[in-house]
Structure 1
């Protein structure tokens, strides 16, 4: 059994990741990182997951960092979340360098408690718009941390991304087998009480359910 620090937002992929790691018998610390995102409602669902799984859970308060990240729909209230799917790199829905920030915090926490691994729920295709979801990025980040924490963290401590080659629809199929409660996951980039159904994250969610063998129980504001 390994001690794993996982970044779990409350989104579909990260909630399945948490279930997967616990199913494998690992000792899990779930970190939800508040970087001032407009959809911080997702953390409610991460906490529910932690309670259900009996996992340790912490919220890291980095809300003030949003003021340093203007121009993106997730961190700038002056930028609307567009009702459209991702297109080319440069989408206002992507906060460049976000995973560098999130994983640096998670890795620091893991090093401090001598954990075995850090886990992130990146899935296949995420790197099409977000370069810091790519295998190249994960490899480079681990190389950097080997230097940054040499002598202060377990030599085997590294970031793992178990779903990096797995399509979101297949992640849903796995989660269904593990008993994930889909109504208790949050994908929407907006901060509504109900997921909008139109933003890029909602469209990705809906499409993935369509491609999976699982029916989508999500309530959407727009059909």
Structure 2
């Protein structure tokens, strides 16, 4: 029987690549998706469709009630999503306080209950400037905690921690992945906006890889 792992799968292009990487590595993947009240909850539907197509176990967990105690992010509050590249200071408005620690804690608990050995998540170097919970020092501390928090140690696997989105996409292209099955835009409208930090970084990754993004944009 294959070794079980849990993949935190948002439905975005980074976690989509991580999900497929874990599958291709031969693991028995259990996908875990969170509805934390994000504006771009549309990504959850993309995650559901991919997991159904891949025929892998998938749990969608509604933790949106946390918004009553975690506020101030344009992803979860009635605050306009800023436009521009991730490296811009205004992108700090998209930080959801302590999000990845919360999601990782829940995923670690799920992994223990499944007798899985690893939790995968898609932090990468492009996020380091803005998101504290995607930085190597955060990952290292969480790995240390996950090793001792339960009777069974869980490893937190972050395959793209030192890669940017351009390199992640390159790896996905090499794996033959179809990125029309992913949603990246922070605005949960019918079409991707093309202007928010998530869209800007995605479009840059496709441009640098000389590939056309299969998503349709408003502008």
TM-score (norm 2): 0.94
Answer yes or no: is the 8 Å Cα contact 1:89–1:130 preserved in 2.
no
2:83 matched to which residue of 1? 83
Q: Return the alpha-carbon distance in structure 2 between the equivalents of residues 99 and 64 of structure 1.
A: 16
TM alignment of 1:69-148, pairs within 5 A: 69-76=70-77, 78-86=78-86, 87-88=88-89, 91-148=92-149
TM alignment of 1:128-207, pairs within 5 A: 128-149=129-150, 151=151, 153=152, 155=153, 157-207=154-204
Q: Return the alpha-carbon distance in structure 2 between the equivalents of residues 201 and 129 of structure 1.
A: 12
SS in 2 for 1:92: helix
SS in 1 for 2:128: helix
2:35 matched to which residue of 1? 34
Aligned residues: 217
- Does residue 8 (structure 1) correspond to residue 9 (structure 2)? The answer is yes
The verdict on how the C-alpha distance between 1:90 and 1:195 changes in structure 2, with shifts beyond 3 A counting, is closer
Cα deviation for residue 124 of structure 1 reads 1.8
Cα deviation for residue 61 of structure 1 reads 0.9
Q: Return the alpha-carbon distance in structure 2 between the equivalents of residues 117 and 34 of structure 1.
A: 22
Q: Return the alpha-carbon distance in structure 2 between the equivalents of residues 136 and 35 of structure 1.
A: 24
SS in 2 for 1:193: coil
Q: Return the alpha-carbon distance in structure 2 between the equivalents of residues 60 and 187 of structure 1.
A: 19
SS in 2 for 1:33: strand
TM-score (norm 1): 0.92
Cα deviation for residue 67 of structure 1 reads 2.1
SS in 2 for 1:70: coil
Cα deviation for residue 90 of structure 1 reads 6.8
The gaps in structure 1 that reach 5 residues or longer are none
Cα deviation for residue 186 of structure 1 reads 0.5
Cα deviation for residue 140 of structure 1 reads 0.3
Alpha-carbon displacement from aligned partner over 1:2-42 (angstroms, at most 9, x marks no partner):
21101000000000111111111110001011111111110
- Structure 1's consecutive aligned runs of 4 or more residues displaced over 6 angstroms after TM superposition are none
Q: Return the alpha-carbon distance in structure 2 between the equivalents of residues 89 and 190 of structure 1.
A: 16
Answer yes or no: is the 8 Å Cα contact 1:2–1:117 preserved in 2.
no
- Does residue 218 (structure 1) correspond to residue 215 (structure 2)? The answer is yes
SS in 2 for 1:28: strand
Cα deviation for residue 84 of structure 1 reads 2.2
Task: Tell me how large the CA RMSD over aligned residues is.
Answer: 1.4
Q: Return the alpha-carbon distance in structure 2 between the equivalents of residues 146 and 174 of structure 1.
A: 29
Answer yes or no: is the 8 Å Cα contact 1:96–1:130 preserved in 2.
no
